[in-house]
Structure 1
Amino acid sequence: MREFVLHYIWQHKLFVQHDLHTTDGQRIEVIDVGKPNTHAGPDFFNAKIKIGKTIWAGNVEIHNLASDWNKHRHQQDRNYGNVILHVVKKADVPVFLADGQKLPQLELSYATEIETNYEVLVSGTKWIACADKISGVPEIYIRAWKNALLLERVEQKTQEINAILQSGNNHWEEVCFVIISKSFGFSVNNDAFLSLAKSLPLMLILKNCRNVVQLEALLFGQSGLLKDLTCQDDYIEVLKREYAFLQQKYRLQPMDGKEWRLLRLRPDNFPYIRIAQLAALFYKRRQLFSQLLESPDVVSLMQLFDAVEVSDYWKCHYIPGETHVSKLKKIGKESVYSILINAVVPLLFCYGVHKELQSLKDKALLLLENIPAENNYITRRWRDTGLKLDSAADSQALICLYKRYCEAKDCLRCRIGHKVLTTIV
């Protein structure tokens, strides 16, 4: 048996709890199983166990076999001196603490179906372990889990924001520029856009944002996409000359253009177009973070991005040197939704955390409830299982569930997995 399944059984009190006795015959009452320890040392801290007539407070160690205690040399380790109970599947030997005191042991009694059904779950070949069982989990239970997962997902995204914030002297407009820029990569070029934004201090963007040619020269030049272009194109030559001047003036080091993924992309998602849109955004919205904070709802946030149009050159070019019929090339509704989900909401939530504004954190989460659910491989598979995805709050929660729990088959930490296992018993 996998030892961590015993941990799970102990933590959730899935063992037979009446008429418990140590292997020496002393009566046991489990008052508190303790808190799981994810670091070195005993498996559970701060447990409270009544053994005989005495209530003990201390730690609990769990093994399949009692002899594992000796195998791991805990009998020589004074870090285990505060263990009050050794919980095992089979007590094959007596065990002792480092001071020579005999340690009370409890053989766990539990429904063997827990083991069996856990093995069935994790050894299955379905896209998620519980694919055949999830339909039996009550909707109210899944809803509560999705709420917790949504918070976990948003908090996970704020970790990157916090790291950028610390490196940027707590300048929120700077952080906004970096995070919004990254979101313009739309998964495929996220890393490249992140590198681009980090290579350009916001101060330079603001100094040059009143001239769209200078702004495009900065962004395209820093991207590394200009230097290898050989097309005979007047506008591209203007950008090259302008960037050469700005590069020398500000001592800029451009990216390697090879960081950008150019193949197998829809034309509207070409890096050239996305960079042109980013330039247009900061040309039009010079204090973007302040405007995000002031926008009360999804509609007003959409308008901040929807009104942005690329400059004239890019209206008739997807790539430099190749013209086509003029087209507005706005960011697009689905793309704006993606920016709101992956950049704006985490930014607002993180700012709410730092400023201790619960109302702003609530606003950020409410925004997700008013944005349509994402349509991608993961969300389509969840729909196939029968789960409802009514909004981006649902899709973000279920993306978190899949990436953090299902892919790792971490069913024992998943509330749905827990429900499946305990319902079977």
Structure 2
Amino acid sequence: MQFKEDFLHFIWKFRLYNNCRLHCEPLGELQIISPGLLNKNAGPDFLEAKLKIDDTIWVGNVEIHLKSSDWLVHHHQQDPAYDNVILHVVYENDQRIYRKNGSEIPAFTLKGKFDETLWHNYNDLITATNHFPCEKHLRGVDSIIVNGFLSRQLVERLELKTAAIHQQLENYKGDWEKTFHYFLSKSFGFKVNGLPFELMASTLEFYVLKKYQGNPKQMEALIFGQAGFLNNDFEEPYPQSLRKEYIFLKHKHQLLPIDVSLWKFLRMRPQNFPTVRLAQYAALLIRHPNLFSRLLEINTFSDYYSLFQQLPIHQYWEDHYHFNKKTRKVILQIGKSSIENILINTICLFLYVYGKYTDQERYVDKAFDLLSFLPPEKNAIVEKYKLAGIHLDSAFLSQAVLQLNKNYCSQKKCLNCNIGIKILKK
């Protein structure tokens, strides 16, 4: 039977071995007071374990292997990080192992000391042909266990995204308004055009945008010009005026537009075309000169929505989806689902990060409250978990499920998941 080391970690961490009269070789009677903390970084597998061997209390690290000879295979004998290992936990003890100073490391053998149906259950779980390992078992897990672990997943998701914001904040010398604008621009492209939106925003110095927020024509010329849409000649007055304005601004501020070929139009509805999104984005900047400051002042859920509603979008786009291309009436204002996407992925994230960064918990609470108020996202991953029995009634839970799927289910890390552990321990 071929176990995996992470399975032995599971057995050790949750003490799923027969705990009667344990022994380690060569010292004698073993009492495990604390198995220690799982180490997710380099070094021994468990840190700060506490053991009693015969009459002596030991505090230190624990290393786990399938065979004791794996210690040599992994070259731990050459790594000083392993000098303070106090116990070598193995499935088979096939070789005596010594520290660099010549002292022998006690070995505790797990073979024969746990119910091996646990391994069969685990193997069945991770090899099942389901959308995710516990799909058929999820309904049987207490909702308190599920929701508790999902809450941890949401925080983990927000924390992972925090690093990118901190890095950009450092690049912008602590300017939150500028940092927020950078990430907001990316969110306006959604999945399909997120990259060109981000590149376009990076070519525009924030002070330049601020300078022209009181002048709609110049703001629109800057946005469409830097996006690469004003390089050609036009027949209609509106794009002609934008092009003329942009040529002046481009020379004045030494601007370099991105390549227009980066923008994607295929298989999209006209209201989602990047040209329409750029018009909405320009209108947002015109309406809210200090959007991040305004965001911090909001206290009602409806006001978060109103940030993106009734924007002063140029009437040209009422019957155009591209320059010089007329169409039937286009829905100009940002749709409800698109607003909710921006609220979930940018607004809530920034409220959380700003609250943590400035040690103001009220903004963290605002982020959680808004996520709990917003409806769950609708996508294939979320739907699979709903069908499996998870009650997803908010973006708080749908965001948590996306994190769960990415970091645990898709990698089949059931032994590190509270839900998987609950199923296995049954």
Same fold, TM-score > 0.5, yes or no:
yes
- Give the deviation of 1:418 after TM superposition: 1.1
Between the two proteins, the alignment pairs up a number of residues equal to 422
Greater Cα shift, 68-77 or 237-246: 68-77
Give the corresponding residue for 2:132: 128
Greater Cα shift, 108-117 or 266-275: 108-117
User: Take 2:48 and 2:309, find their aligned partners in 1: how far apart are those partners?
Assistant: 55
- Give the deviation of 1:271 after TM superposition: 0.3
- Give the deviation of 1:163 after TM superposition: 1.7
User: Take 2:74 and 2:156, find their aligned partners in 1: how far apart are those partners?
Assistant: 35
Contact 1:217 1:243 in 2 (8 A): yes
Note the 1:275-424 alignment, pairs <5 A: 275-327=278-330, 329-423=332-426
- Give the deviation of 1:191 after TM superposition: 1.7
TM-score normalised by length of structure 1: 0.95
**1:211 has 2:215 as partner:** yes
Give the corresponding residue for 2:11: 9
**Residue of 100, 120, 124 corresponding to 2:102:** 100
Contact 1:181 1:278 in 2 (8 A): yes
User: Take 1:401 and 1:73, find their aligned partners in 2: how far apart are those partners?
Assistant: 34
- For 1:295, give the aligned amino acid: I
- Give the deviation of 1:36 after TM superposition: 2.4
Give the corresponding residue for 2:123: 119
Give the corresponding residue for 1:249: 252
- Give the deviation of 1:90 after TM superposition: 0.8
User: Take 2:286 and 2:15, find their aligned partners in 1: how far apart are those partners?
Assistant: 60
Please give the per-residue CA displacement for 1:321-350, whole angstroms capped at 9, x wherever unaligned: 111344451111111111110111111111
Contact 1:309 1:329 in 2 (8 A): no
Contact 1:23 1:91 in 2 (8 A): no
- Give the deviation of 1:114 after TM superposition: 2.2
- For 1:29, give the aligned amino acid: Q
Note the 1:49-198 alignment, pairs <5 A: 49-108=51-110, 109-198=113-202
User: Take 1:188 and 1:76, find their aligned partners in 2: how far apart are those partners?
Assistant: 49
User: Take 1:314 and 1:248, find their aligned partners in 2: how far apart are those partners?
Assistant: 27
**Residue 96 of structure 2 aligns to a residue in which SS?**
coil
**Residue of 261, 265, 277 corresponding to 2:264:** 261
Output the aligned Cα RMSD: 1.6
User: Take 1:120 and 1:283, find their aligned partners in 2: how far apart are those partners?
Assistant: 57
Greater Cα shift, 322-331 or 243-252: 322-331
Contact 1:74 1:97 in 2 (8 A): no
In structure 2, relative to structure 1, the CA distance for the partners of 1:233 and 1:298 (3 Å cut) is same
User: Take 1:312 and 1:6, find their aligned partners in 2: how far apart are those partners?
Assistant: 66
User: Take 2:62 and 2:215, find their aligned partners in 1: how far apart are those partners?
Assistant: 67
Percentage of matched positions with identical amino acids: 39
User: Take 1:75 and 1:177, find their aligned partners in 2: how far apart are those partners?
Assistant: 52
Contact 1:223 1:254 in 2 (8 A): yes
Greater Cα shift, 276-285 or 298-307: 298-307
Please give the per-residue CA displacement for 1:7-44, whole angstroms capped at 9, x wherever unaligned: 22212322222321113361111112122233333222
In structure 2, relative to structure 1, the CA distance for the partners of 1:328 and 1:91 (3 Å cut) is closer
Please give the per-residue CA displacement for 1:107-162, whole angstroms capped at 9, x wherever unaligned: 12222122222222222221101111111111111111121112122222222221
In structure 2, relative to structure 1, the CA distance for the partners of 1:146 and 1:76 (3 Å cut) is closer
Note the 1:29-48 alignment, pairs <5 A: 29-48=31-50
User: Take 2:117 and 2:233, find their aligned partners in 1: how far apart are those partners?
Assistant: 68
Contact 2:221 2:242 in 1 (8 A): yes
Greater Cα shift, 72-81 or 263-272: 72-81
User: Take 1:58 and 1:157, find their aligned partners in 2: how far apart are those partners?
Assistant: 34
User: Take 1:161 and 1:211, find their aligned partners in 2: how far apart are those partners?
Assistant: 29
User: Take 1:35 and 1:14, find their aligned partners in 2: how far apart are those partners?
Assistant: 16
- For 1:312, give the aligned amino acid: Q
**1:272 has 2:272 as partner:** no
User: Take 1:120 and 1:48, find their aligned partners in 2: how far apart are those partners?
Assistant: 33
User: Take 1:77 and 1:394, find their aligned partners in 2: how far apart are those partners?
Assistant: 43
- For 1:391, give the aligned amino acid: S
- For 1:84, give the aligned amino acid: I
- Give the deviation of 1:76 after TM superposition: 4.6
- Give the deviation of 1:198 after TM superposition: 1.8
**Residue 188 of structure 1 aligns to a residue in which SS?**
helix
Contact 2:271 2:331 in 1 (8 A): no
Contact 1:182 1:194 in 2 (8 A): yes
User: Take 1:14 and 1:198, find their aligned partners in 2: how far apart are those partners?
Assistant: 54
User: Take 2:104 and 2:159, find their aligned partners in 1: how far apart are those partners?
Assistant: 45
In structure 2, relative to structure 1, the CA distance for the partners of 1:115 and 1:230 (3 Å cut) is farther
TM-score normalised by length of structure 2: 0.95
Greater Cα shift, 235-244 or 137-146: 235-244
